[in-house]
Amino acid sequence: MAENSQNVVLDCRGYCCPIPILKTMQAVKKLVEGQVLELISSDPSSQKDLPAWCENSGVELIEAVEIEQEFHFYLKKSK
């Protein structure tokens, strides 16, 4: 994922279910057209929960990567 100054970073490391999902919902609401949200989570259940939430919420999951047991998700609002 290319560095983009427009990206918003949400750091949920250290939080358990369901906080990463709830904070992501709040952050996605604030996104403007074209902005990408990067969520960083250390909660292993995010790997399943986040895609499930995106599926149901009209949010596009662009990419998900695991870096040293931390999960990075890149999200944007679907058109």
Taking CB under 8 A as the criterion, the residue among 16, 44, 60, 65 binding other proteins is 16
CA-CA distances (angstroms) from residue 16 to 22, 23, 40? Answer: 11, 11, 12
Taking the complex as a whole, how short is the minimal distance between the CB of residue 24 and other proteins, in angstroms? 8
Is 48 exposed, middle or buried (CB count within 10 Å of its CB: 0-12, 13-18, 19+)? exposed
Taking CB under 8 A as the criterion, the residue among 18, 40, 51, 62 binding other proteins is 18
Taking the complex as a whole, how short is the minimal distance between the CB of residue 57 and other proteins, in angstroms? 6
Residue number, 2 or 29, with CB nearest to other proteins: 29
The reply to whether 54 belongs to the active site is no
Q: How many residues would you count in the chain?
A: 79
